[in-house]
Amino acid sequence: MQQRKLSYAGNDFIRSDVKRLRKRWSNIETGITDFFNRLRGEIAEQISHTPAVWGDFLCHRELGDKKIIFCKKRITLNPKDGSSGGARLVYAVVQNDFSFIPFLVFSASEEKTFYLINNKKFRLKSRGLLQIVDEKLKML
């Protein structure tokens, strides 16, 4: 049986986030791509059951016939900062077509502040992240 590979579906959902964070980290897109490659490698080696690989599970949503898993992961962009000073990535894995979609990215210093989407403010912490996911899904 041939194993499917995880595919990268693009940065459409995080364009404004990347633009905002590029002032601080010029390598933000490279950090996201590196994480995707690590995740794809772990899945290919079939050790994806390890929780540290996926990050923190946020929620599971269905959009039509597509089943989507949302997770949050810390990304280290500067080794001196460590993971506590890096970025946070909320990403989706669409189970039907096995694609990886970066959904939201923000810096560690922005945690617990507010994120504006569709003229609504949501706090960048657990419950707020779920509301941001739902709000972005409404835009589809």
Helix (H, G, I), strand (E, B) or coil at 139: coil
Token code pair at residue 131: 């509301």
Q: What is the pLDDT along the chain (140 residues), one digit of tens a residue?
A: 456 788 999 889 999 999 999 988 888 999 999 999 988 887 766 644 545 567 888 999 999 899 999 999 988 887 777 667 789 999 999 988 889 999 999 998 899 999 999 899 999 998 999 999 999 999 87
pTM over cut 0.85 = yes
Token code pair at residue 64: 């039509």
Spatial separation of the C-alpha atoms in residues 16 and 2, rounded to whole Å: 37
What is the structure's pLDDT at 52? Answer: 55
Cβ burial, residue 16 (10 Å; 0-12/13-18/19+)? exposed
Token code pair at residue 16: 């404004």
Spatial separation of the C-alpha atoms in residues 117 and 78, rounded to whole Å: 28
Name the β-bridge partners of 90. 72, 104
- Which amino acid makes up residue 123? R
